[in-house]
Each structure stands twice: as structure tokens, then as C-alpha cells.
Chains A and B, each alone.
Chain A
Amino acid sequence: MDIKTLTTPLSEEAVASLNVGDFVLLSGMIVTGRDRVHKYLFSELPLPDEIPFELEGAVLYHCGPIVRREDAGYRLIAGGPTTSQRVEMYEWRIIKEYGLRGIIGKGGMGEKTLQAMKEAGCVYLHTISGAAVYLADRIKRVVDGWKVEEFGAPEAMWLMEVEDFPAIVTMDASGNSLHKGVAEKSMGVYKELLGGGA
């Protein structure tokens, strides 16, 4: 299997060279964000300088980690992906407003996000669902957190440094989606199994 290596922040060219089915290893800084972060960014649209981390060219990881607070800072215990579809109503605006180049998550996203990715130059990187320990071992450190008290640790935005973090491109910047393909294929079998009921 061919492996492509990527380093954040991602350029438009790097994103454009990725295709559905590519296996990638990502290194550099990434930020996390899930339900609360998306609702907040979408509704309040804070200015980039009100957010402590750079989002231009950034990769946003849909993840609510287990983080332990220690004297020296934060330690990550487990950090796999959360279901991306829940932020489908928000993501298109966040990609466009803040200039994200990559989304890491699981389960894929819908048409609105696919369209925004095509227009703005962004890809969806599907990592290994549930592999929280394996992935935590590829997160070198938690640098800092934003909204930790207000949103709670699982919902905060965390800045993390990753090394050789594995993912598969399942939605690319040309409008292709592996998830659409799987759904269409299963639709045929589904209709057959329901015997014309659907």
C-alpha cells in the first residue's frame, strides 16, 4: 500500500494532490473540536485572533480525548475519533471562514461538507475508529487547551502535536467520497433485501 506523508499546516497544493483511497501519515500540530466547538464557531464566528490557535491551513480533529491534568501540563491517555456526521450542519461554514485544509474524523460527512471542501480546498481524513490507545501513542504531546473549563475536557479545543498519525483520505478536494460509494452500493442490496418495500 502506497503511503503519503503530510506535514501541517497543509498547503492548497498538498491537499489537491490527495485522492480518495490514499493512505496518509500526518505530522505536526493539529487542533481538536467536536460538538460544542462547532456550535460555538458556527454561531459566534469569533475572529481568528480571539482563538489562541492558528486555524488557517490547519487540520481539525473530531476528537474528545481523555486528558489528565498533571503538574507539568496535560497528558493524553486515549484519543480516537468521534462521529463526524454530527457536525455536518456546521462544518461547511467553519472550513470556509477559518481556512481549514483538513478534517480528521470517522464515519465520513455529507454533501454540504463535500461541496465546501471542493470549493475551499480541504480533505477528509478518516482515521481508525475506536483505536484510542494506538492513536494516542502517535500524539506526541498536548500543547494547550482552549475553553477547557467552559466546555469541559472532552469538548475543549486542544492543540496537539502528532507524528505519523495514520488516516485514509475518504473525501477529497475534487468532490469524491468513499462514503457515497459505499452507501450507494449498500442501497442496492438494501432494496433487494426489503423486497421492494423500500
Chain B
Amino acid sequence: MLKLKDGIVELYRKVATSLPSDVENELKKAYAAEEEGIAKEAMGVVLENISLARKTSRPICQDTGVPTFFIRVPRQLSQEEVRSIITAATREATEKVPLRPNAVDILTDRNSGDNTGRNIPVIYFEETGEHVLTIDLMLKGSGCENAGQTYKLPAEEIGAQRDLDGVRKCVIDAVFKAQGRGCPPYTLGVGIGATKDQVSVLAKRQLLKRIDERTGDERIIALQARLLDELNRLGIGPLGFGGKTTVIGLNIDYNHRHPASYFVDVSVCCWANRRGRLVWG
């Protein structure tokens, strides 16, 4: 399994040093849309940074996040084994790429120095009947991770009832509260469902989708389109300098809920929306 480890180290390098083309294209559109001023200047530097990072194979952002893996694992493969390969690959990638060591012990405040620790990296497994191992890696900076919000509907303070219009209000509230602190233009993932833990992971999973993906129920697609327009009317703009593009895309998904519960989670991702996939076997 030595080769899988090498593959994961390479995945780390690719995800840390380059952006998916759909994200980069939207950022180029955001640059073109801004009028002359500091927001446009800033977007120009953002685009230059992206190409410089790719060319010189250095991390786009110094915050390489909490490594988060979403894995589809074939039945015959041991999750424990995959986990230990990921841990070894994480140590190696931290040194080689390099990544910033981001795992800090709660009790001693010591940084482990290699991005591994108690339940770090974060790994979500899903067993499949497929014969290949599919590994999605997300390196999400924590400035934007801190900008995320969870809502319990109804939420009277924002006038949000238990319906899709209530969900719409939650998303607007989350972006308004984030202002420019999480590095806009943002990509958003939204999860709706029965329990607090479930909606957080569901929201985060949405960030793995292409931001221009338009599949699923038409009511959800319509809500996404409406929100994209409304969120950009907030005028927070690139990096929070004020301007036309605050959000470049969002994806929403839902689960069934409990009669008593209606949770909405909004996961906010910075412009450096770093994700990548390795298919093995």
C-alpha cells in the first residue's frame, strides 16, 4: 500500500497548490465584473497569487486547514488500514509540500507539528459496492470555517420559519454576519435536516460539488439561483472591500427531519476553495 500513500501525498500537493477550474473561472468573472477600485485591484492580486502558487508549487494560502477526507471505500478494503495510510501520508505531506502544521492539543496547547492528532485528519468513510477507492480531500482554511453558522428553525430573530424561505433567511444571515472576515468571494454549502451533527457534515459535503452544478429538485435549484442573486446584493464584495461579488456559488442539500427539529447549517468557504479527488484501484 506504499503507492497509495504516495498518491495521497501527491493529492495533498495538488489540492494545496492549485484551485479547481470551476472555482478559478468564477474568480476571473468576479475580477471582470468589478469596477476600478480596491476590490478589483485585490482580485487581480488573488488571480496572480493563484497562478504563482501553481507555477512554483507552493500552497495558495498559508492556512492549509484541517485536512478533511470524504472516502468511498470498497467492501473488501479495511477502513483502519486506509486511515493509517492517510496518517502516514499526512505526516509526509506536511514536510514535503509543505503544509502548515495545524493540529493543536486542547489540554497542553502544543502543536503536534505534523497535522496529526486526536481525530485529525478528519475522515468520513462510506462503504460502497464499487471496486475502486475514491478519496476526496478538502483543505479549508479556518478563517472561513469560523464564519459558518448553524440554525434551529424557527428562528424568530431573523423571521425564519420552517420552510425553504426560512432556509433562505438563514443563508443571508450567515453571509451578512461573516462580512469580509472569511475571505470572500465565498462558496457556500448548505445542509438541512434532523440533527445538528448531520447537517454540518451535509453542508460541508456540498463544498465538494462543482459550484456550477445544477442537479436535483427544481425547488432547490431555484432557491440557489435566488440566493446567489440576493447575496451579491449585500455588497460586501471581494475580501470585504465592498463590491459586486460576495458569493460565487452555493449548493444546498437536505435529509428528512424530525417533527420537532429543522436544522440548517451554512458552511462558508473562502475564495481558495481547495478540493481534489484521487480514484484508486
Contacts and interface: CB of A to CB of B under 8 A. Distances in A.
Interface of A: 1, 21, 23, 36, 63-66, 68, 77-80, 82-83, 85-86, 106-108, 126, 128-137, 151-155, 166, 168, 170, 178-179, 181-183, 185-187, 189-190, 193-198
B240 A179 contact: yes
Place the interface of chain B in its size category: 35 or more
Interface in B87-115: 98-102, 104, 109-111, 113
Given A193-B233, A194-B173, A83 B143 contact: yes
Dominant secondary structure of chain B at its interface with chain A: loop
A79 B62 contact: yes
Given A106-B143, A166-B45, A178-B242, A186 B179 contact: yes
7 contacts: A1-B38, A23-B38, A78-B60, A129-B270, A170-B241, A182-B241, A190-B176
A182 B49 contact: no
B159 interface: yes
A132 B235 contact: no
Contacts of B109: 36
B160 interface: yes
B45 A134 contact: yes
A194 B100 contact: no
A29 B146 CA distance: 30
Given A66-B62, A133-B59, A152 B101 contact: yes
B239 interface: yes
A166 B143 CA distance: 21
A108 B49 contact: no
A88 B63 CA distance: 20
